[in-house]
Amino acid sequence: MDYFLSEEQQMIVDVARQITDEMIVPQRAELDETEDYPRDILNAIAKADLYGLYIPEEYGGLGGGCFDIVLALEQFARGCTGVATAFAASALGAYPILISGSEELKQKYMPLIASGEKLAAFALTEANAGSDASGIQTTAVLDGDEWILNGTKQWITNAGEAQIYTVIAITDKSKGPRGATMFVVEDTDPGFSYGVKEKKLGIRCSSTRELIFKDCRIPKDRVIGRIGMGFITVMKTLDQSRPGIAILGVGLGQGALDEAVTYAKQRVQFGKPIISFQAVQHILADMAIQVEAGRALVYSAAKHIDAHKNDMSKASSMCKVFATDMAMKVTVDAVQVLAGYGYMRDYPVEKMMRDAKILQIYEGTNQIQRNVIGQELNKEYMRSS
C-alpha cells in the first residue's frame, strides 16, 4: 500500500533496502549460525548516515524522528531481526541522553552516536528486575567528585560491543521510585566489565551480556538529568523506542510473507503450484492482511509520537503489542506454508520464527504493554466522565 512518503522518507527506505538486500540477506544464515556480531553491516549502516536519523542536526544527526528510524528498521528486520536489533539498541541507549541529558552530555555523546563511530546500549534489566523495574539492586553512591556503581545488569543488548552505556541505579533506596538515577558509563571506566555472551533462541548475531560494576568509578557529571529522575527517563525512553520494536515485527512479518508466497508459487503438488489451492491462499491472505494492518498501525503511532511528545504511552504500547504478536503468528504460518522445507535450516523461515519470539518479550513484555494500555484507558475515561 502507498503511504505517501516524502522524497526524503523514500530515500531512507531505498538506502536501508539496498543495505538489506546486498548485505544483510546474504549473510543472515551464517550470522545466525556463528552468532557473530554483524560489524561490517553496522559499519555500512553508519557510512550511509542512518545512525543519525533520529538525532537533531545540532548534534550531527539528520534531524528526523521516530517515523524516520522506523522506516529504516522495517527494511533491516525484513532481512534479519538480529541485525536490526543490534542497530536499534544503539538508539535505545541514546534516547535517555537525548530526552533528559544536559547540553554538555548531548554535545559530548550524540555526535559520536549519530556518526555510528560509537555504539550505545541501554541498561535497565537485572536478575530480579524485569517487568518490575522497582526491583533494581544496582547502586550508585556519590564519593567526592565521583559516583561509585556496584551491581549487575542482565541481558543487555549490545553489551561488549557498545562504548556508551546508559545505566539506571538506585541512588536513594528510601525514596522508592524517586530514588533511581540514570548515568552514562563508558566502556573504559575502571571497575566495569562484561559477563559471558548469552546463548539465545533467536536474534543470535546481536550481543546479549551482563554488565558488571565492581566499585566502578565515573565522574560526577555523568548523571543523566536530575538525581532521582531515573525512572521517568526510563519510561519516556521506552515510550519513544517501542515503535522501533513494533516495526521489527512488521519487517519480519513482511520477510516471512515474501518467503511464503515465493515458495507457494514454486512448489508443485498434485500437478499444480500450491498457491493455487485455497487452503494455502487463505493462509497467505491472512498473513498479508496482518502485516499491512501492523504496518499501518506502527506508521500511525510513530507519526503520533513525533507530533505529541507528552502523549505517547498508549500509541506506543498498542503498536508494539499488535505488530509483535502479528509477527509471531505470521512467521509460524510461513513455516506451515513451507512445511517440511520450512522446518529445515535451508530456508530462512525457521530462523524468522525463532527471531519473532523475542519481540513479544523485550522492551516490556506484551502483557506489560496491555497493562499500560489499560491504565491509559482508565485515565482517559476518568477525564471524559
What's the residue count for the chain? Answer: 385
> Minimum distance between the CB of residue 23 and other proteins, rounded to whole angstroms?
8
- Assess 11 for contact with other proteins (CB under 8 A): yes
Residue 152 region by backbone torsions, left for phi larger than 0, else alpha for psi between -120 and 50, else beta: beta
3-state SS assignment for residue 268: strand
* Sole window of 11-19, 151-159, 290-298, 312-320 interacting with other proteins (rule: CB under 8 A): 11-19
> Minimum distance between the CB of residue 301 and other proteins, rounded to whole angstroms?
23
> Minimum distance between the CB of residue 86 and other proteins, rounded to whole angstroms?
17
Annotated active-site residue 146? The verdict is no
User: Which C-beta is closer to other proteins: that of 12 or that of 302?
Assistant: 12
What's the rounded Cα separation, in Å, for the pair 268 and 63? 50
Out of 58, 146, 363, 380, the active site residue is: 363
Q: How many CB atoms lie within 10 A of CB 35?
A: 17
- Assess 8 for contact with other proteins (CB under 8 A): yes
User: Which C-beta is closer to other proteins: that of 50 or that of 353?
Assistant: 50
CA atoms within 13 A on the CB side of 28: 29
What's the rounded Cα separation, in Å, for the pair 302 and 27? 29
> Minimum distance between the CB of residue 56 and other proteins, rounded to whole angstroms?
15
Give the binding-site size for other proteins (rule: CB under 8 A). 17
90 near 165, Cβ under 8 Å? Answer: no
User: Which C-beta is closer to other proteins: that of 114 or that of 149?
Assistant: 114
* Sole window of 7-15, 141-149, 267-275, 333-341 interacting with other proteins (rule: CB under 8 A): 7-15
14 near 62, Cβ under 8 Å? Answer: no
Grid cell locating 223: 548523571
Q: How many CB atoms lie within 10 A of CB 384?
A: 6
> Minimum distance between the CB of residue 151 and other proteins, rounded to whole angstroms?
39
- Assess 19 for contact with other proteins (CB under 8 A): yes
Which of positions 63-102 make contact with other proteins (CB under 8 A)?
Answer: none
Grid cell locating 54: 533520529
Which parts of the chain fold into alpha helices (H)?
7-19, 25-34, 39-47, 66-79, 81-100, 103-114, 230-266, 278-307, 313-343, 349-359, 366-384
- Assess 62 for contact with other proteins (CB under 8 A): yes
Of 246, 261, 265, whose CA–CA distance to 334 is shortest?
A: 261
> Minimum distance between the CB of residue 8 and other proteins, rounded to whole angstroms?
7
> Minimum distance between the CB of residue 27 and other proteins, rounded to whole angstroms?
13
> Minimum distance between the CB of residue 19 and other proteins, rounded to whole angstroms?
5
What's the rounded Cα separation, in Å, for the pair 221 and 160? 23
User: Which C-beta is closer to other proteins: that of 24 or that of 334?
Assistant: 24
54 near 72, Cβ under 8 Å? Answer: no
Binding mask 35-54 for other proteins (x = CB under 8 A): ---------x--xxxx--x-
Q: How many CB atoms lie within 10 A of CB 337?
A: 24
Interacting residue with other proteins among 2, 6, 7, 188 (CB under 8 A):
7
User: Which C-beta is closer to other proteins: that of 15 or that of 180?
Assistant: 15
- Assess 31 for contact with other proteins (CB under 8 A): no
User: Which C-beta is closer to other proteins: that of 116 or that of 179?
Assistant: 116
3-state SS assignment for residue 150: strand
Of 247, 243, 242, 260, whose CA–CA distance to 353 is shortest?
A: 260
Interacting residue with other proteins among 5, 23, 37, 330 (CB under 8 A):
23
Interacting residue with other proteins among 12, 24, 169, 352 (CB under 8 A):
12
What's the rounded Cα separation, in Å, for the pair 352 and 254? 11
User: Which C-beta is closer to other proteins: that of 23 or that of 283?
Assistant: 23
**Burial of residue 355, with CB atoms counted within 10 A of its CB: 0-12 exposed, 13-18 middle, 19 or more buried:** buried
User: Which C-beta is closer to other proteins: that of 91 or that of 99?
Assistant: 91
Q: Which residues bind other proteins (CB under 8 A)?
A: 7-8, 11-12, 14-15, 18-19, 22-23, 44, 47-50, 53, 62
Q: What residues act catalytically?
A: 363
